[in-house]
Amino acid sequence: MKNDNRPIRIALIGAGTVGSKVASLLIDQAEDLKARSGAPLQLVGIGVKDSSKPRPGIPQELITSNISELIAKDIDILVEVMGGIEPARTHILDAMSRGISVVTANKELLAKDGATLYAAAEKNNVDLYFEASVAGAIPLLRPLRESLVGDKVLKVLGIVNGTTNYILTKMDETGASFKDALQEAQKLGYAEADPTADVEGHDAAAKAAILAQLAFHTRVTIDDVFVEGITKVSANDVLAAKEMGYVIKLLAISERLDDDSVVVRVHPAMIPRSHPLASVREAFNAVFVVAEAAGSLMFYGQGAGGAP
């Protein structure tokens, strides 16, 4: 990061829901961001697959389909929000090799090959930030990576998917079926037209792998995570849990065993209504951390949408 007042030059790759929001923030809140960062933040280009596609609110002159050329410019930070494994991995590694720090929200890539990215960042002496890859706007990953580095994390429990939490909340509050609650979530924009990645637990599994990597300093990948979604949770299941004083949540669980091995799993679980995670409703996310010295900590906030 620069100490002088020269602009911090930023290249963005990906202009979907999240990318467009990032671009708008950099353009519309330039003065506020300058005041907070101490230097102007200059968006120098936006790399996309199709540069001819109209993108309201984003100057066309910033758009390019030549991402390699964009990265080769004199930039300080690459923001990657294109998603997927490739070509995102190639572009990130290219940027790091040029001494460019990277900000990414790519949970799929981090869950699959985070070790490669961490090693590249260390080798090239650049920063890799990925706070937005898990639990939306919740400032969670830095505390795990830095604040608790001297502590021993024992367990991490997370509600890390806003879609499934919204569905289960509606089933609990109204007695709705899974199908009806899903349809409501889709109408409100909390669920995609194809909700498979969310309701089958795959999105939460990717986030669980990233949390485990940081909390337990392990090379866990998404392939190591046991996954069960919420499609088999019925209204009767939710009602029975309610009558016993429990609520059903889709939890991402990482746990250190007695032999110091780590298990990571994602599945519906009944938790007591007195537990802090039970109060996490609708599209909100929360992560509950149990550490040897610090005890129990919970991080909570909005988890869905482009802005978080």
Which residues are catalytic, by number? 207
H or E segment to which residue 10 belongs: strand 8-13
Q: Is residue 290 within 8 Å of residue 299, measured between CB atoms?
A: no
SS (HEC) of 55-93: CCCCCHHHEECCHHHHHCCCCCEEEECCCCCCCHHHHHH
How far from chain centre, in Å, is Cα 52? Answer: 29
How far, in Å, CA of 218 to CA of 81, rounded? 25
Report the distance separating Cα 41 and Cα 7, nearest Å: 6
Phi, psi dihedrals of residue 125, rounded to the nearest 5°: 55, 45
Phi-psi region of 39 (alpha: psi -120 to 50; beta: other; left: phi over 0): beta
